[in-house]
Structure 1
């Protein structure tokens, strides 16, 4: 297949790559790289394969890796700098490139390619058609010679229940080899033969050909041809009843009931003749969760789930290609595979899948409408839940959390492990309703009772907002003094007056910490209870983390320097590239893509973002509710009805008076007043 089985080996240095101008010194000359299809490998100084990729045009693809370093994606840059050389193999077509790439990924297991975390050994229902006397069994071994597999199933007991019902209709062998040989020697069948759940080929009650016919019917039914057997049994039941053979009719009735009981356990999702596998993928910057629904005869006959670690950023189409290839490495694909996105070389992938199916055409599709699209959405929802579950389990692992904190300490050169980390994020809508959040993780776990929310009256941009928020937060630590806190459960704190010194707004169910200096409030000081104690808000963090890149980190560092507080480290995480920025650094810190350290930092950032967005939405809703409640004749119930009818504040603001008048209890005059008031409020903002 390959024209050049080894590929030209380019000069490599034992000391690793040196930067040559704006790229690395092992960059080959453009004229040396062929323009034909092929597969390339990046190797490190020890000849270990770091990454395997394919290309229709090797020269065009490899030139992307040797662009100026500052233009590369951070993780691509790390891979290029980790390598000491690149080699390639020219092949005859895109299809051959697809095959060779997959073969090399399996052989070399490169660290920068997608990695599968399928730690589940799924139980399958297998029929050993390769044996002279086939048998049905429950197994986790996928390498039985000549066996036909069904599943995977999530529970072993579910398969055993299915087999028990199926043997009433298809009485094939299900015993072990030792049991079968013993029955042959003694001439006595086992219990299943005596109760009619086995045709007992061991004692010659049925010849091998007849037993194989039963096994073939069993396989055909499980493969989705269920309606044909039900119709046949119903016909035979009616024929037996017509000639008054009620004993046979009762046996057929029981067999019909057994098959219907099996089918009831499989949800009907598509038409009877549809055989398809449906894939759902939920992914973020670090990982992807995959769900595979196996549909045969229109019914879900198996479900499989696994998690993929992503070292380099890959598009959804490329991820689909990798997932599909691994899913059918040992399994035979169905005629139709439904995926969330098509890869660039979908035609070559279809050809590869067809070869796995012995030349029968396999189609790869993205469902856009109808029952298949509805099923695809269900599968994707399951994938999203699987990703959440994976993250939850990973974050709950004490060993993983401890390792994450140690790795963060080492990567950021901290004096000690960051046992308390506070993460800040800013949220706004086109510069209005600016808010910020602070989330707290201690020992790698969230402390939701110590989360805080900030309202920001005015700001020019996100960096200014962060500077304001951190100035207010660090004021509690100024001089190392312990700041008193209001006792929880005491009298309520009135709202702050806009433009005055403010304090963090409370998390639901808590009282906000008092500010380090006097604050002006609407209400009187007598409304406050004077009993005070050292507050949680005065505990210093080991690490202040901000959502953003170098500008946000520098704003945070400026606030820390102005506060006079020492002993706190600062870092920022930039979402798009997932790199960590430190104050004054020219280049970011790159944590390993699948490391627990990056996972913990990402979780902190995502939690701060979620908390800020929730507060910002609450403020937007409260703002428009306040505007509406000031309109004469518009009480709380009508305000609620308006928001419910339009579904969002944006739609209500854009609605014409005629559309507003359609809401129950709102007349034309009141509708015109509402529209005018909302336009006035928008223009004032």
Structure 2
């Protein structure tokens, strides 16, 4: 490799290090590829321990030359996302956080929550870390700004239920003009950007007008909307004298992970607060960490202010500024304030980050104590840092599914959750559990990263019989993982082949942890079971109609929204659906007419 290194050009680009199997384990960018790559091939004693560990695995390398450093930065981002190399910094959970999306590129835009930023036309706000609070907020926004919620804006025979409830203006029925609808969208955008007062004044005027006309129910609805707006606006009550538009980023560096906290200031108000954990860094330098974070955070984020204030300047400030400026079409500056209002604002973010860090540290100490005591109670050889819990869910033996939930360091690790559709005997919990564990272990043995690492402890929702069935599979596959069952009736802990359960105090923190695991596994399995049953019910009736294939089924469900609406449609309306003809419409109409007669009997 050192000989090949001599032929690497002194040009900007991206380099990729691979292991013996050809798997990419690290991606980096460089202003001069040869110089940067050569730094990795010096004496191991001079390398950082993490770099030394990585280079011990490197068996090959590749590189891609780019026209500029900015192009190299963009390519590096894309390659890291595609390959997720083991030794690159991993921004935990960043891409799983949801955004609020307003589809302004459409004739009649809609508002909804999304986890993917796909186009450059729609408006995106976020990401948000508190998903539950976000759903509540979007629900309130739907009451205040009655935009359409349907995915497909096709003309219908009558408005949907949302129109009757005052939660939609029914553009599908021409109940609102495009201009009137656009004004409502403008108000929503103003609201999302923190300009609440004009909207509150408008609502107050409408409330007074309704009261003057003695339309008291209408006035009460406007009053409720004002209260809803004020409720959301109250979360942004911290204001600054100047109408700043900027992002504040504070970094707290630790031995194993780093915390990044972001405050978004718009029009002098705090519009949002997020925090992120960085792990798996081979470079302990804080400037490299924040450099990576800025690239990841703003790569798909369209809400980028002209000024970004940081507690630590990134490794290559000028390059990041050039990239962001090119991306946004405006001049972007990254600064570290040393005095004045902006320094005071950044200090506030640093203090908030310190609180989050301390809270996690204290919680980790508490969790460690709980896991230590649990390992002693269950006579485990190691402290169970990763615990998996399994549950089976079915309805009268049908649509049997299994759930696998994961707790890491006594905290739910939802990215690691998995679910299984049972393929074997449907009405047998023992067989279903055995199948689930076998499939899970085989996935790990095949090297599927989605099922790695193996757990330190497995918990089964059930008693002795369930535990014994799982242990039999473990023995067959030579997997040495402790297995226990938690029976719901008396909250007893069962061991394989042992008829005497472990009984703990209801106040025992270890038992409470296992209960949380068991309840979460039950919830996750039940959720999947309901999803499969709902899907089956949705398509089953249409499947019985000859001549109605997948394309026509999709067209019908898109037009009417549900099978019940299709059942009530007239023959002429059915025939007007794209992809349908008179003969196909007649078959659908006759099927439901015949079924209705049977139901009436």
Q: Smaller-chain TM-score range?
A: 0.5 to 0.7
Quote the residue 1:93 is aligned against: 68
Any idea what the Cα deviations from partners look like across 1:381-437, whole Å, max 9, x if unmatched? Answer: 3333444455566663799979x99xxxxxxxxxx9688xxxxxxxxxxxxxxxxxx
1:277 paired with 2:252, answer no
Quote the residue 1:366 is aligned against: 336
- Unaligned runs of 5+ residues in structure 1 are 1-25, 406-415, 420-443, 446-685
Quote the residue 1:601 is aligned against: none
* Preserved contact between residue 237 and residue 253 of structure 1 (Cα < 8 Å): no
Question: Following the alignment from structure 1 to structure 2, what is the Cα–Cα distance between the partners of residues 417 and 274?
Answer: 56
Quote the residue 1:109 is aligned against: 84
Question: Following the alignment from structure 2 to structure 1, what is the Cα–Cα distance between the partners of residues 300 and 95?
Answer: 16
Quote the residue 1:263 is aligned against: 233
Any idea what the Cα deviations from partners look like across 1:107-149, whole Å, max 9, x if unmatched? Answer: 3322121112218843443323344322223455555895433
Measured at CA, do residues 213 and 393 of structure 1 come closer, stay the same or move farther in structure 2, by a change above 3 Å? Answer: same
Quote the residue 1:640 is aligned against: none
1:215 paired with 2:185, answer yes
Measured at CA, do residues 227 and 346 of structure 1 come closer, stay the same or move farther in structure 2, by a change above 3 Å? Answer: farther
Deviation at 1:264, TM superposition (A): 1.6
Question: Following the alignment from structure 1 to structure 2, what is the Cα–Cα distance between the partners of residues 52 and 185?
Answer: 52
Q: More displaced, 359-368 or 132-141?
A: 132-141
Deviation at 1:294, TM superposition (A): 2.7
Equivalence map 1:136-151=2 (5 Å): 136-140=111-115, 142-143=117-118, 147-151=122-126
Equivalence map 1:481-560=2 (5 Å): none
2:290 to 312, 320, 330: 320
Deviation at 1:258, TM superposition (A): 5.1
Question: Following the alignment from structure 1 to structure 2, what is the Cα–Cα distance between the partners of residues 211 and 220?
Answer: 14
Deviation at 1:345, TM superposition (A): 2.0
Q: How many residues align?
A: 377
Question: Following the alignment from structure 1 to structure 2, what is the Cα–Cα distance between the partners of residues 261 and 231?
Answer: 15
1:346 paired with 2:346, answer no
Q: Secondary structure at the match of 2:337?
A: coil
Q: Secondary structure at the match of 1:294?
A: strand
Quote the residue 1:74 is aligned against: 49
* Preserved contact between residue 283 and residue 387 of structure 1 (Cα < 8 Å): no
Question: Following the alignment from structure 1 to structure 2, what is the Cα–Cα distance between the partners of residues 232 and 74?
Answer: 62
1:51 paired with 2:35, answer no
2:100 to 119, 122, 125: 125
* Preserved contact between residue 271 and residue 298 of structure 1 (Cα < 8 Å): yes
Measured at CA, do residues 129 and 399 of structure 1 come closer, stay the same or move farther in structure 2, by a change above 3 Å? Answer: farther
Question: Following the alignment from structure 1 to structure 2, what is the Cα–Cα distance between the partners of residues 90 and 134?
Answer: 42
Measured at CA, do residues 158 and 82 of structure 1 come closer, stay the same or move farther in structure 2, by a change above 3 Å? Answer: closer
* Preserved contact between residue 285 and residue 313 of structure 1 (Cα < 8 Å): no
Q: TM-score, normalised by structure 1?
A: 0.47
Question: Following the alignment from structure 2 to structure 1, what is the Cα–Cα distance between the partners of residues 119 and 7?
Answer: 47
Q: Secondary structure at the match of 2:184?
A: helix
Measured at CA, do residues 59 and 229 of structure 1 come closer, stay the same or move farther in structure 2, by a change above 3 Å? Answer: same
Quote the residue 2:268 is aligned against: 298
Quote the residue 2:348 is aligned against: 378
Question: Following the alignment from structure 1 to structure 2, what is the Cα–Cα distance between the partners of residues 348 and 361?
Answer: 13
Any idea what the Cα deviations from partners look like across 1:282-328, whole Å, max 9, x if unmatched? Answer: 22122112222233332233332222113413311211121111112
Q: TM-score, normalised by structure 2?
A: 0.53
Q: Secondary structure at the match of 2:341?
A: helix
Deviation at 1:353, TM superposition (A): 1.9
- Unaligned runs of 5+ residues in structure 2 are 384-408, 411-601
Any idea what the Cα deviations from partners look like across 1:495-548, whole Å, max 9, x if unmatched? Answer: xxxxxxxxxxxxxxxxxxxxxxxxxxxxxxxxxxxxxxxxxxxxxxxxxxxxxx
* Preserved contact between residue 207 and residue 219 of structure 2 (Cα < 8 Å): no
2:258 to 288, 294, 312: 288
Equivalence map 1:643-682=2 (5 Å): none
* Preserved contact between residue 129 and residue 147 of structure 1 (Cα < 8 Å): yes
Question: Following the alignment from structure 2 to structure 1, what is the Cα–Cα distance between the partners of residues 213 and 381?
Answer: 82
2:326 to 355, 375, 379: 355
Q: Secondary structure at the match of 1:367?
A: coil
Question: Following the alignment from structure 1 to structure 2, what is the Cα–Cα distance between the partners of residues 146 and 96?
Answer: 23
* Preserved contact between residue 332 and residue 356 of structure 1 (Cα < 8 Å): no
Question: Following the alignment from structure 1 to structure 2, what is the Cα–Cα distance between the partners of residues 118 and 418?
Answer: 28
Q: Which has the higher helix share?
A: 2
Q: CA RMSD in A?
A: 4.3
Q: Secondary structure at the match of 2:263?
A: strand
Quote the residue 1:62 is aligned against: 37
